[in-house]
Amino acid sequence: MAQQYVIIVAGGTGSRMNQLLPKQYLILEDKPVLMHTIQAFYMCKTKPHIVLVLHPDMESLWKDLCRDYHFDIPHHIVYGGTTRFQSVRNGLTYICTRTDQPSEHLIAVHDAARPLIRPEIIDHAYELAALKQAVVVAVKSTNSIRLGKRKRWKTDQFSL
C-alpha cells in the first residue's frame, strides 16, 4: 500500500522580501508561518510523513523555534540545495533511501510559506493522486489580477 509523504520546501532565504528572516519564520497570528504549514498536513486524515527541507543555516533557528513554541509535530529535516529544484530533489532522495518501493508512494511538494492550505484539500489531493498518479492543486482566485498600461479595463480582459 502506498504511503503518503509531503516535502515542505523551506530552504528560501527571503531575499525578495528584504526582511531579516525568511517569510516562513515570520509570525502569523500566534506562531511562525512554517508551523501553520506543517500543522495543516499533520491535521490531515491521510497523515503524510513530513519531510522538511531547510537551508542549512536555519536548522538551529528552527529547532529553537520548535522548543520555544512547544512544537512537537513529528518531521524529518533535510538540507536544501542552492535552488528549489535541488531542495525538492534532496527531499525525494531522503524518501527514496528510507523506504521500500518509493515509486509506489504518493509524494506532495508544498511551499513552507503557503500556510493557508486546508487539510480537506490535501486529503482530496492524495485521493486523486492515488487514482490518477499525479495532481496539481489550485484554488480559483477571487481577486482580479491585471497587467498592462491601460487606464480602463473590461471585465473580460484579465491576464497574468
The residue ranges of every structural domain in the chain are: 4-132
For the cut 70, the answer to whether the pLDDT of residue 117 exceeds it is: yes
Q: Is the pLDDT of residue 127 over 60?
A: yes
Across the chain, mean pLDDT equals: 89
Q: How confident is the model at residue 160 (pLDDT cuts 50, 70, 90)?
A: very low
CA angle 32, 36, 38 (to 5 degrees): 110
CATH number assigned to the domain covering 4-132: 3.90.550.10
Q: What percent of the chain has pLDDT over 70?
A: 86
Asked whether the predicted pLDDT for residue 155 surpasses 60, the reply is no
The pLDDT of residue 151: 63
Which of the given ranges, 59-73, 97-111, 127-141, has the highest pLDDT on average? 59-73
| pLDDT over threshold 70, residue 147 | no
Question: 5 in the Ramachandran plot: left (φ > 0), alpha (ψ -120 to 50) or beta?
Answer: beta
**Do residues 3 and 93 touch, judged by C-beta distance below 8 A?**
no
CA distances from 9 to 52, 81, 143 (A): 6, 10, 26
Predicted confidence (pLDDT) per residue in 8-50, tens digit: 999 887 777 777 889 999 999 999 999 999 999 999 999 999 9
Question: Which residue is listed with cell 500566534?
Answer: 30
